[in-house]
Amino acid sequence: MASVTQQQIQKFYKDGFLVLEQFFSAEECDSMRRQIQGIVAGMEVPPHCRTAFSTRQEEQLQAQGSSDYFLTSGDKIRFFFEKGVLDEKGNFLIPKEKSVSKIGHALHAYDPVFKQITHSPKVQELGRKLGLERPVVVQSMYIFKQPGIGGEVTPHQDATFLHTEPLGRILGFWIALEDATEENGCLWFIPGSHTNGITRRMVRAASGASTCVEFVGSEPAYDDKQFIPLPISKGGLILIHGEVVHKSELNSSESSRHAFTFHVMEAKGTTWSKENWLQPTPELPFPSLYT
């Protein structure tokens, strides 16, 4: 991998994203895919995906159970499924390795392969080139984008979910573990859309509310014509500014679009919102990117 130039870094700050082809080797990508195959092979369906509902009240408790599963996933390795792949008893209607939508949110902390990738020397060097002084890793996810059913991700800004004061302190690293194409659901961006702040926040709901999180503010209607697709080859890295608007379409192809992604926060002079769904825990304070 060639070293990142100052010109590329300037481009990142102008566009809000940067494509770095062949940042990781094919071997590194394959080691992550092999590791995830093992994790999926040992996967248990979470209890909240298995109950047959009877009353409205049980359904609400049920939703609470699943929301709890999400809210407490920041320091664990947990499974999230595509819609319609499980029956009410939690049995798979399709092969289980094709049913998972994503695995999150602490692979970077608890899995040796993903930990090594997250803290790899080239990632640390890139952090230093970007001028990050005290970067910490806040979350990671393995995203499957399953063939035929990998759902669309509507236009959003990562800072909606990972809010900081001031803004501009969140950075996403998105690694293509297979070629990402327009057919299988590559990312799309609005260049320059990271400079207008954010219009919507996802916050923890007051305790006792029927949902665990709620949205404050609203997402504007974005003009589809403003988005540009960023197809990228296996091993490529896309750097994503926390406020840039991006999306991905439904995967209507016959090939999956696996990706590993993690988010870093510049902790120097930054306050992490207490209202974010994701919170550091005593078991897992946000680890430093630099080792």
The type of residue at 101 is: S
Q: How many angstroms separate the CA atoms of 268 and 288, rounded? A: 11
- Tokens of residue 268, six digits: 């120097």
What is the pLDDT, as a whole number, of residue 19?
Answer: 98
CB atoms closer than 10 angstroms to residue 237: 23
What is the pLDDT, as a whole number, of residue 54?
Answer: 62
Q: Under a CB-based contact definition with an 8 Å cutoff, are residues 229 and 155 in contact?
A: no
What is the pLDDT, as a whole number, of residue 3?
Answer: 83
What is the pLDDT, as a whole number, of residue 211?
Answer: 79
Indicate the fold that domain 6-272 takes in CATH.
Jelly Rolls (2.60.120)
pTM above 0.85, yes or no: yes
> Of 275, 263, 269, whose CA–CA distance to 217 is shortest?
275
Mean pLDDT of 8-25: 98
**What average pLDDT does the structure give for the chain?**
93
Extents of the domains making up the chain: 6-272
Cα→Cα distances 95→40, 68, 91, Å: 11, 26, 10
Question: 169 pLDDT band (50/70/90 cuts)?
Answer: very high
Q: What is the DSSP letter of 160?
A: G
- Tokens of residue 255, six digits: 């090939």
Mean pLDDT of 236-247: 98
Q: How many angstroms separate the CA atoms of 66 and 50, rounded? A: 11
The type of residue at 230 is: L
Beta-carbon contacts of 60 under 8 Å, excluding residues fewer than 6 positions away, are 210
What is the pLDDT, as a whole number, of residue 236?
Answer: 98
Q: What is the pLDDT of residues 188-234, one digit of tens each?
A: 999 999 999 999 999 998 877 777 899 999 989 999 999 999 999 99
Among all chains, which residue has been given the structure tokens 């709901």? 205
Q: Percent of the chain having pLDDT more than 90?
A: 81
Q: What is the pLDDT of residues 39-59, one digit of tens each?
A: 999 998 888 888 766 666 777
- Res 32 pLDDT > 90: yes
Mean pLDDT of 20-29: 98
Beta-carbon contacts of 91 under 8 Å, excluding residues fewer than 6 positions away, are none
Question: 66 pLDDT band (50/70/90 cuts)?
Answer: confident
- Res 176 pLDDT > 70: yes
> Of 80, 103, 63, whose CA–CA distance to 205 is shortest?
63
- Tokens of residue 276, six digits: 């974010």
